[in-house]
Amino acid sequence: MSGNGDAAATALARIQTDSVVATLKALYPSLQFEIIAMSTTGDKILDTALSKIGEKSLFTKELEHALEKNEVDLVVHSLKDLPTVLPPGFTIGAICKRENPHDAVVFHPKFVGKTLETLPEKSVVGTSSLRRAAQLQRKFSHLEFRSIRGNLNTRLRKLDEQQEFSAIILATAGLQRMGWHNRVGQGALGVEVRAKDQDILDLVGVLHDPETLLRCIAERAFLRHLEGGCSVPVAVHTAMKDGQLYLTGGVWSLDGSDSIQDTMQATIHVPAQHEDGPEDDPQLVGITARNIPRGPQLAAQNLGISLANLLLSKGAKNILDVARQLNDTH
């Protein structure tokens, strides 16, 4: 089993991997699990914004290489780091129950007690995400947003010890997993395996959380259809209530001045785990879930595609094309 991250970036990756291993050990007490820490391109290139690197598998390529060579049998990722189209031969064999999917604002010590709205004019806010920057720029036009890279420890140290940033935006789930509640691939963990390794698929399949799985299928279908990635500001959010899956998605210009957002819903039955699922070519948006019925999975995927088509009909393609061009030239 591999956890994403080198010695400097391994704390959160190790915590996430340990949580998956602990669950598997409880389910399979006779099995032994060895954890191997590995680094990726995304871990090593810390002086360039993610949107500028141009590599779609920043946090997965090296790990997939180890999977392909049978050096490891499964890899734990933050689901947001996994592209919506995986290379041939790989699949997401499990999606664990999602934690808090929201973002958190962490302020420099001298601004504790402030909000983004009350920060001084021209205060600099750090984020590694175009999605976050575009949405926040639209709402808080008096602030400046700059890229900040590195693992959680590094970013928090840059915030606390340097004077460049007044605040930074981080994923709440990462802060909570690190035990930093006081400072609060977004919230869900995915386990990547070899697509044809049925033994490992059966092993990890019990980790699927049905509701999180269906929500992630809808989200990934939306992103895939829009060809969303690190180089464009695209956002999506789901909520399940009273048998309805609500999907909200949006696209933004780089400066946040132009946007299109909408919400759609579909009636989707969240099945009990371990029901019979598809037997033939079960992958949807890179996810294999043989123990979840096909009907709800297809309904979730269709919801994602439908919302993407709705945004495209309202002009999303032009916004995204301009954003890609501007991102490439700056």
Q: Kindly indicate whether the domain formed by 104-177 is annotated with CATH number 3.10.20.30.
A: no
Comparing 149 with 7, the larger pLDDT belongs to 149
Whose tokens are 């890899």? That residue is 75
Condensed to tens digits (0 to 9), the pLDDT of residues 49-108 reads 555 445 455 567 888 999 999 999 999 988 887 888 899 999 999 999 988 888 899 999
pLDDT tens profile 264-296: 999 998 887 555 555 555 789 999 998 899 999
Tell me the pLDDT band of 162, cut-offs 50, 70 and 90: confident
Strand order in the sheet with 259-267: 234-241, 244-252, 259-267
Q: Structural domain boundaries of the chain?
A: 11-98+188-329, 104-177
Neighbours of 160 (CB within 10 A): 13
CA distance 209 to 215: 10
Question: Among 1, 97, 91, which residue's Cα sits nearest to residue 289?
Answer: 91
Q: Quick check: do 11-98+188-329 and 104-177 share a fold? A: no
Q: Is the pLDDT of residue 153 over 70?
A: yes
Give the CATH number of domain 11-98+188-329; options: 3.40.50.620, 3.30.160.40, 1.10.10.10, 3.40.50.460. Answer: 3.30.160.40
Characterize the bridge pairing of strands 244-252 and 234-241: antiparallel
CA angle 239, 300, 241 (to 5 degrees): 25
- Residue 81 annotated as catalytic: yes
Choosing from 43, 81, 103, 209, the catalytic residue is 81
| 155/159 Cα distance (integer angstroms) | 6
Please give the residue that has the higher pLDDT: either 321 or 176: 321
Query: Could you report the per-residue pLDDT of 211-266, keeping only the tens digit for each?
Result: 999 999 999 999 999 987 667 899 999 999 999 999 999 999 998 999 999 999 99
> Are 187 and 101 contacting, i.e. CB atoms less than 8 angstroms apart?
yes
Q: What are phi and psi of 39, to 5 degrees?
A: -110, 155
- 148 and 155 in contact (C-beta within 8 Å)? yes
What share of the chain has pLDDT > 90, as a percent? 58
Among candidate residues 193, 187, 210, 212, the one with its CA nearest the CA of residue 86 = 193
